[in-house]
Structure 1
Amino acid sequence: MENDDDRLAAAFRAAVQDAPEAGFDHEDVLAGSRRLARRRRTLVAGGVAAAAIVLAGGVTTGVVLTRDGGTTTSAAAPAPERAEQAGPGSAADAAAPRAAAAPSAPRSGAPLGPAAGDCVNPQDPELRALVDAALPGLAGAREAPTTMICRPGGGREVNLEVTDGALTGLLTVVYTPAGGPPAQTASAVGWVTAEVPTASGGTVVVTSRGDADSGGVPFADDVRPLAEALGPQL
């Protein structure tokens, strides 16, 4: 056993003696360690800088997006297109509640004028809006039954069943554009009628007639003032 150990030890010593000398020394090891340390510090510093740029870009983008009302821009994150350029069907457009369309009176200085369409509408909503605004007492009046006869010419009409205290009857407003056939202006017992020229060159006729058992004409004193109020708007 001892001879085997001696022979093994002698073999190791011989192997060490035959090995070539090392190509580096202690100083080379230290220099290599310093180079690795510098490289590691450079990589860490670069990663921190990149993270800072990304973070800064994110903050800038947030500022730009939240300042939609102004013109703020950024080199890191260009200002987005304004929401109102999205056009119909955009999210902002869909979120906004839509009120039901309602007839409105024309702007000051712009008469309503003739209506479009082949036949006169016997319950013209735009004319009704003017009538209700000029005489608020008619705002709740029901629409009266009308015929299906087509009258061409671009005119407008409103036919109402009205109540004025104890008096009941029918009140009609007929606008005829320039060159159109004249409206019914003849009066009879229980009728009150007023005709006034309009701003567009036509005429407007307001007529109120009482029911057979009414005992009088509803809104008789308002017929002329109503026609005069509608004339400049038609």
Structure 2
Amino acid sequence: MDEQELRSLFSAAPGDEPSAGFTQEDVVRESRRQTLRRRNRITAGVSAAALVVVGFGAYGLLSGGTPGLTSAKDNAAVSAQSGQPGLGPARPQVGGESPNFSSTPPQQGGSGDGKTGQLAEGASGCEQVDGELAIALAGELPGHVAAAQASPGSACTTASRSAGFPVPGGEVAAAVYPKGIPVAFKSQPAGTVTAQVATTSGGTLVLVSVPGAENAAPYAGDVDRFARELAPRF
């Protein structure tokens, strides 16, 4: 081999080895980083699995594991299908009455509280208005008079059925005395106009027109006619 060939071989040989781009500390640091990442992934996976298990356990307790809740749900479903109220304070107890209803039936003309109301058909005395007489008298009086505005009136007595209405200028009242009962009612103010007519049942109908202060008796000229038209109804 001549000198030329040796020179060619030396020129073709690789040069010096390049210096490393990282140190031993870099290798250790990267290893620790990778180890920490693996630990974090494992911890996250375990936590997720634990949450799933806890969730399924809670669902099981709420859906069917608690007897009290299941019983309440079944009772509500049965009550909804049958149209009856569920168990509670508003439902009547067996063998008793519901506290929401009164055990005393309202009387005729009453307000539902067990006391006799103002209007009662066939009522006698000065504390109740006879409903039948009030309706009949309201139909005879001019204008719009409602039976609900009636009062016992000035012609009432203990034995008679009575009804009266306030009208412009005073009051018009009627009383029906049963057969065999004499007519006797309290004295009336000056200027009062009175009419008495026998009823169909053999009693007496009294109609009075009582004037207000410094007024003439209202419908004074119609008192007799009112009485004659009312009497045949009683």
Relative contact order, higher structure (CA 8 A, sep 6+): 1
Please identify the structure whose Cα radius of gyration is greater. 2
Is the TM-score greater than 0.5? no
TM-score, normalised by the number of residues in structure 2: 0.41
